[in-house]
Amino acid sequence: MADKRKQRILIADDSEMNRSILADMLGDDYDIIEAENGKEAVAILRKQAAQIDLVLLDIVMPEMDGFGVLKMMNDFRWIEETPVIMISAESAPARVQQAYELGITDFISRPFDAIVVHHRVVNTLLLYTKQKKLMNMVTDQVIEKEKQSALMIDILSHIVEFRNGESGQHVLHIRTLTELFLKHLNQMSERYYFSKSDISLISTAAAIHDVGKIAIPSEILNKPGRLTDEEFAIMKTHSEVGAAMLEALPVHQNEPLVKRAYEICRWHHERYDGRGYPDGLKGDEIPISAQIVALADVYDALTSERVYKKAIPHKKAVEMILDGQCGKFNPLLMDCLRDMEDMIPGAMSSSEAKDWSDENVLRNLMEDLMQREEISVSGRTLQILEHERMKYQFFADMSQEIQFEYTASPSSVSISEWGAKHLGLDEIIRDPRHDAKVIATMNPESIDRLAELLAHTTPQSPIVNFDCCVRMGGVERWMKIIARATWSQDEPPVYKGAIGKAIDIHETRVKMAALEEMAAHDTMTGLYNHKFARIRIQDMMTRKPGSNFALGIFDVDHFKQANDTYGHMFGDQVLIHVAKTLKRNMREGTVSARVGGDEFLLFFEYREHVDLAINRIFNSLIGTYEAFPISVSMGVAKTDMLGTDYDTLFHAADQALYAAKRAGRGQFRFYDGDSCGTLSLISPIDGDEREQPQRPEDDRTDGGKEKET
């Protein structure tokens, strides 16, 4: 990155003229930031010290002078990474001396000479760039070395476990528990203090506590039943054997790791009251490292399944240990265990979820690196990263949002703490597409669709919006997922995964649906309005292109009389009654709508005997309302004859209705192709956008058609 971007120079000088002269001298090769006093310079450094490659610093400035800035740069250790060239006419030797002591790299005195300024800047930048590169190389090598030794220890301890027939998690658990106890001891007792590197050393050494079991015959190691006294005596030798192996190492005797491992191997079966083995050490004769590993070992042995026993639940295991059933331990450690009781199961399961060898070792390493003076420079960068991470986590927790990060290969998802809890999922999920809990939360089609959308983004437009149903606590809710795909810097770019969040839009969505529903219905009868019925009908025909459908239109005979005789209120009641009757008698899947003043529409799929179906509905509509006799006239059009164009069907049904009325009302007619002219009978109702059709002038007597609703 440093190679690509322009190097950034901060010029702190109170004279705009002077800053401008310097900026001009440096030319366009650099990215120049200016500060007009010391405070401003510090504020800029505070925000972006890591991105500033060089500071040109004046001495005499208001608010805070150059020495003040230098002091801050020392306090915050920015000076270790960002070189400073002092610019000033001040040449009193004491001041120059003071400036060098505060860590400046060079001095430029006024008046500025363009060539001198340019060369000093270039040289200083070059020097620091080389130094940074060198430091990164060292860091990389240290990381590589630590990785390899962690790997070797992992391999070694897994060999032991493998022979032992243990779960493979044992080493992990011992490490995690040891680390947990050590950290807590630091907090609860003044007697012990373990530095970060002590903790890392002891928990790493703990991994090979059982290395001596390599020398135990596997018939004894893996015997399902109780060991005989003789066998047990052999088994017990493993601690001495392990220690002897380490003692016999031809080199590395003085390595702290080997020393700790020796203590742990030899004495992790000693007990506080002197009743352990092999040496019968008592109390604090037993090194604290061995005491802690002994406790961790006992706990994990109890809670794990072995060839000779079942797993004992966490609470019970802690009880047994506190009760002294597994031998006597340091009372301090018992307090420690009591304090930690609730945290242990969580820590154990999260240790399983993470890859110990990478993450923890590297984290410890990072912390170690920060403590080492000579490479503290990259430490600061890491500190900034850590700070960013902490900031991010804090805001994620505060926002109560479901935030996630998805890595495409190997497929895994991590969810923000709050989000995971809210969804009832783990924070880190490997292979989410095949995770039972994930699939129970979001259906696989949605997951695949989302994955597909993300994979088909481009680095230029990486954002995806996706609405889907998510099940939480047994209830389905609508969520909007907004995600940004991440692409590598490679050429061509490679899709790496995504970051994003899910927002609960259930309420909004439900409201929208309700509004849509309202807009789709005729307010008086609660049936669909024509506009919406048309959409539904077209949709049904598109979905099932091979099926037969019938579309019927009917109106209420002599409706005008009801209106005229009993008033419009009564007329409305009649329409509501008809709508209810229709709803009650139609089969599921039938679309019904009010399409005009007293005209109704129905539409359904049929297999055979469409005439019987129509007849049934037709007859069900005949009756009375408050002594007003109700009958209808109906026209029907079928897709098997007319195809699936809605307008054609509607028009044909309308014509058949016209024919039915002309034939004396109270009957239904199927459109048969040759009937009845081309005039429509249908009148509009309010809000129906259908064009007002023409109506036959000679048919006024049958009523209803002139009614306003």
Partner 1 sequence: MTLQECYAALEGDYESVMGRLRTERLVQKFVLKFLDDGSYALLTTSMESGAYDEAFRAAHTIKGVGQNLSFNKLYESSHLLTEALRAKNIEEAMPLYEQVKADYAQTVAAIRQYQASL
**Helix %, strand %, coil % for the chain, to 5?**
55, 15, 30
Question: Measured over all CA atoms, what is the biggest interatomic distance in the chain, rounded to whole angstroms?
Answer: 122
Provide the mask over 84-103, with x wherever binding to partner 1 is found by CB under 8 A and - wherever it is not. Answer: -----x--------------
**Cβ at position 97, least distance to partner 1 in Å:** 19
CB 513 within 8 A of CB 505: no
CB closer to partner 1, 14 vs 198: 14
CB closer to partner 1, 114 vs 514: 114
- Chain-centre distance for alpha carbon 55: 40
What is the separation, in whole angstroms, between the first and last Cα of the chain?
A: 73
CB closer to partner 1, 98 vs 458: 98
HEC per residue, 324-380: CECECCCHHHHHHHHHHCCCHHHHHHHHHHCCHHHHHHHHHHHHHHHHCHHHHHHHH
Alpha helices in 165-269 (DSSP H): 170-188, 196-206, 218-221, 229-247, 256-267
DSSP designation for 213: G
3-class secondary structure, 502: strand
DSSP designation for 112: P
User: Whole-angstrom Cα distance, residue 580 to residue 594?
Assistant: 12
Q: Is the peptide bond before 410 cis (omega within 30 degrees of 0)?
A: yes
CB 245 within 8 A of CB 252: no
∠ Cα 514 515 519 (to 5°): 120
DSSP designation for 673: S
Question: Which of residues 23, 50, 60, 540 is near partner 1 by CB under 8 A?
Answer: 60
**Cβ at position 62, least distance to partner 1 in Å:** 6
CB 304 within 8 A of CB 170: yes
With contacts defined by CB under 8 A, name the span among 57-65, 185-193, 231-239, 628-636 that binds partner 1.
Answer: 57-65
**Cβ at position 16, least distance to partner 1 in Å:** 7
CB closer to partner 1, 21 vs 579: 21
**Cβ at position 58, least distance to partner 1 in Å:** 8
Pairing of strands 632-638, 668-670: parallel
Tokens coding 286? 């037993």
Residue 317's H or E segment, with its range, is helix 314-322
CB closer to partner 1, 38 vs 597: 38
With contacts defined by CB under 8 A, name the span among 105-113, 247-255, 431-439, 667-675 that binds partner 1.
Answer: 105-113
Count of Cβ atoms closer than 10 Å to residue 624 Cβ: 10
With contacts defined by CB under 8 A, name the span among 1-9, 109-117, 140-148, 311-319 that binds partner 1.
Answer: 109-117
- The interface with partner 1 within residues 12-31 (CB under 8 A) comprises 14-18, 20-21, 24-25
**Cβ at position 89, least distance to partner 1 in Å:** 6
Residue type, position 525, single letter: T
CB closer to partner 1, 63 vs 605: 63
CB closer to partner 1, 92 vs 248: 92
CB closer to partner 1, 34 vs 263: 34
Residue among 369, 451, 376 nearest 408 (CA): 451
112 touches partner 1 (CB under 8 A): yes
3-class secondary structure, 553: strand
**Angle between helix 93-101 and 66-75 (nearest 10):** 20
CB closer to partner 1, 94 vs 248: 94
CB closer to partner 1, 91 vs 620: 91
Q: Hey, what long-range contacts does 477-480 have (CB within 8 A, 24 or more apart)? A: 477/504, 477/506, 478/504, 478/505, 478/506, 478/509, 478/510, 479/402, 479/503, 479/504, 479/505, 479/506, 480/505
**Cβ at position 9, least distance to partner 1 in Å:** 18
641 touches partner 1 (CB under 8 A): no
How many residues contact partner 1, by CB under 8 A? Answer: 19
**Cβ at position 417, least distance to partner 1 in Å:** 52
User: Whole-angstrom Cα distance, residue 436 to residue 420?
Assistant: 15
**Cβ at position 36, least distance to partner 1 in Å:** 11
**Angle between helix 170-188 and 196-206 (nearest 10):** 150
**Cβ at position 52, least distance to partner 1 in Å:** 23
Pairing of strands 628-630, 84-88: unpaired
**Cβ at position 33, least distance to partner 1 in Å:** 20
CB 470 within 8 A of CB 479: yes
**Cβ at position 6, least distance to partner 1 in Å:** 21
569 touches partner 1 (CB under 8 A): no
Residue given tokens 């392990």 in the structure block = 242
CB closer to partner 1, 22 vs 177: 22
User: Whole-angstrom Cα distance, residue 439 to residue 431?
Assistant: 11
**Cβ at position 142, least distance to partner 1 in Å:** 46
Tokens coding 172? 């992990």
700 touches partner 1 (CB under 8 A): no
Question: Which of residues 43, 46, 47, 62 is near partner 1 by CB under 8 A?
Answer: 62
Question: Which of residues 111, 473, 474, 673 is near partner 1 by CB under 8 A?
Answer: 111
**Cβ at position 30, least distance to partner 1 in Å:** 17
With contacts defined by CB under 8 A, name the span among 106-114, 384-392, 536-544, 559-567 that binds partner 1.
Answer: 106-114
CB closer to partner 1, 64 vs 362: 64
**Cβ at position 118, least distance to partner 1 in Å:** 10
113 touches partner 1 (CB under 8 A): yes
- Residue 687 burial (CB < 10 Å; 0-12/13-18/19+)? exposed
What phi, psi does 428 have (nearest 5°)?
Answer: -120, 125
Residue given tokens 């920060």 in the structure block = 370
Provide the mask over 115-134, with x wherever binding to partner 1 is found by CB under 8 A and - wherever it is not. Answer: x-------------------
Count of Cβ atoms closer than 10 Å to residue 194 Cβ: 20
114 touches partner 1 (CB under 8 A): yes
**Cβ at position 21, least distance to partner 1 in Å:** 6
User: Whole-angstrom Cα distance, residue 41 to residue 450?
Assistant: 46
Provide the mask over 397-436, with x wherever binding to partner 1 is found by CB under 8 A and - wherever it is not. Answer: ----------------------------------------
CB 67 within 8 A of CB 41: no
**Cβ at position 109, least distance to partner 1 in Å:** 9
Question: Which of residues 61, 85, 298, 652 is near partner 1 by CB under 8 A?
Answer: 61
CB 667 within 8 A of CB 633: yes
CB closer to partner 1, 99 vs 221: 99
**Cβ at position 14, least distance to partner 1 in Å:** 6
Tokens coding 631? 């009958």
CB closer to partner 1, 11 vs 246: 11
User: Whole-angstrom Cα distance, residue 548 to residue 541?
Assistant: 9
- The interface with partner 1 within residues 235-274 (CB under 8 A) comprises none
CB closer to partner 1, 37 vs 525: 37
With contacts defined by CB under 8 A, name the span among 56-64, 160-168, 172-180, 599-607 that binds partner 1.
Answer: 56-64
CB closer to partner 1, 113 vs 517: 113
Question: Which of residues 6, 46, 47, 110 is near partner 1 by CB under 8 A?
Answer: 110
CB closer to partner 1, 115 vs 569: 115
| Binding interface with partner 1 (CB under 8 A) | 14-18, 20-21, 24-25, 60-62, 89, 110-115
